[in-house]
Structure 1
Amino acid sequence: MTALHGGRLGTWIKLPALESVQIVAHAAFDFVVIDQEHAPLDLRTVYELVTVAQALGVPPLVRVADGAPSGIQRLLDAGAAGVLIPHIDTVEQARAAAAAVRFPPAGRRGAGGTSRAGRWGLLSREEYLATSDSALCVPQIESRQAVGNAAAIAAVEGVDALFVGAADLGLDIGAAPSAPEVSELCGTALDAAHAAGIPCGAATATPQGAAALLAQGFDFVVVGNDTSMLAEAATATVHAIRGDGGPR
């Protein structure tokens, strides 16, 4: 779990471009989260992004589109360091997510030792099965119900961290992500994770926001994303030259 401890900084990867991973790796981000929930990334593209991230020493997590065990299994067999699973509201959903990440008897993941995670069959069965011990299962807490169940979700065997989604929490309660009510809910989830002895993360769009989250006690922060960084740099370049670089 070292990838998610000690004030680690990551960023979302949304573009189907290997260069995105290379650029953020060279920028010294601690990890990346490849985003299948809000970006049109297919399995083959994610496989390639994971491979490049690992080659550069940057742990690649994947935010899956949903908690389907078949999708989680294929991503872990592709070599992903772990998965973020959106909209985990109940203990039962958290148990199902953890089971999809772990091999029996701890879970229900199927064996695929000839995959990339098993070095295409070169690892022994024992070595391949041991890879699930280090795979990260990270439920996303994104509703009032989820916050209410956060302590129980964090205590589920096989859950390695929580990730708080302030944007969806705000949607759930009808408030802006920066509203005091949302901040209070995020703090409750953070406290629940720490009480269970696991790290808790959150996301923000800005460096200032990341610093504030780390100061609040969050263990890892996902800041910005490749698409927005490109958009902001492009807009700033045009504005600096012509003074009219606003979005079209």
Structure 2
Amino acid sequence: MSIRVGGLKPTFRDALRAAERPLIGIWVSSGSPLMAEICAGSGLDWVLIDAEHGPNGLESILAQLQAVHGYPVTPVVRVPFGEPVIIKQVLDLGAQNLLVPMVDTADQARAVVAAVRYPPRGVRGVGASLARASRWNRVDDYLAVADDTVSLTVQIETATAVENVREIASVDGVDALFVGPADLAASMGLLGQQEHPEVVAAVEHCVRVAAELGRPLGVNAFAPATAERYLAAGSPFVAVGADVALVARASEKLAEAFIGERQDDPGGKARTAPPAERPSY
């Protein structure tokens, strides 16, 4: 049995080109296939499986790709860094969409592009017959069409990358860019100040430059007002939350609702609303 390329999912590049509105995504940083599947069924457009800051190895990335496969969502895998061996392994797992962090120059971008392409256009190691990427040679002519099944997004995360954003965005094979304001703020001497006017101005500069070149540029923006700001600025895709952060904040709200008020009022004299009237989380 053979599977044509159409049997694989469209790439993130394809989804961005076809989109009639901005694509909204969520970080899956827990390393949990169950959490990845829950997020995949949420109605959001894309999920980011994070192997840079999340506790992920090859086995857990594979399990999460399998967990989300049956859902109408685009999975993107962030590798720890743009090293060719790691990129080869993650691609062979069947990841079709890569996000590579800390790309500061056009030369670095070209090296990452080479890592996702087979020779003679690149340096990706050839092991398709052993790999989920080709469905173990069940995808017709996989080696010839592999480039069509993979999309590459690079991250702009430093002041140097902002200075070079036009050159990075112009590299053939870079399908999209993604700004990480947290690391960008740190590189600008503004650690923890993603909302600082200078950081916002740098992000919006990148959005404008990418738009001029016809390259989609997304932003990581977990605060709703921040996400809305960058969507209004023209960003075609935004990440608006993370599984671990959502669970952390929701569990804190539960603790505050059910424990906090009892600490303030141990005897319960001030509590007039019955439990059925408590907010639902």
Both proteins in one fold, TM over 0.5: yes
Report the equivalent of 1:14.
29
Alpha-carbon RMSD across the aligned residues, in angstroms, is 1.8
Secondary structure of the 1:140 match is strand
Report the equivalent of 1:234.
251
- 2:149 paired with 1:137: no
Give the whole-Å Cα distance in 2 for the aligned partners of 1:3 and 1:101.
19
| Residues 157, 183 of structure 2: 8 Å contact kept | yes
Report the equivalent of 1:59.
74
Give the whole-Å Cα distance in 1 for the aligned partners of 2:50 and 2:65.
11
Deviations for 1:132-190, whole angstroms, at most 9, x for unmatched residues?
Answer: 22311111111111111110100101000011111111101112111111111111211
- 2:123 paired with 1:117: no
Report the equivalent of 1:187.
204
Q: Which moved more, 1:91-100 or 1:71-80?
A: 71-80
Give the whole-Å Cα distance in 2 for the aligned partners of 1:118 and 1:130.
10
AA at the equivalent of 1:22: E
1:218 aligned to 208, 218, 235, which one?
Answer: 235
**Aligned residue pair count:** 245
Give the whole-Å Cα distance in 2 for the aligned partners of 1:123 and 1:241.
54
Give the whole-Å Cα distance in 2 for the aligned partners of 1:40 and 1:152.
33
Give the whole-Å Cα distance in 2 for the aligned partners of 1:177 and 1:232.
19
Gaps of 5+ in 2: 1-12, 263-281
Give the whole-Å Cα distance in 1 for the aligned partners of 2:94 and 2:136.
11
AA at the equivalent of 1:46: I
Give, in angstroms, the shift of residue 128 of structure 1.
4.2
| Residues 51, 79 of structure 1: 8 Å contact kept | no
User: Superposed, which structure 2 residues align to 1:23-42 within 5 Å?
Assistant: 23-42=38-57
Secondary structure of the 2:171 match is coil
Give, in angstroms, the shift of residue 2 of structure 1.
3.3
Secondary structure of the 2:220 match is strand
AA at the equivalent of 2:128: G
Gaps of 5+ in 1: none
AA at the equivalent of 1:121: N
Give, in angstroms, the shift of residue 82 of structure 1.
1.4
Secondary structure of the 1:98 match is helix
1:107 aligned to 100, 122, 134, which one?
Answer: 122
Give the whole-Å Cα distance in 2 for the aligned partners of 1:149 and 1:155.
10
| Residues 118, 143 of structure 2: 8 Å contact kept | no
Report the equivalent of 1:87.
102
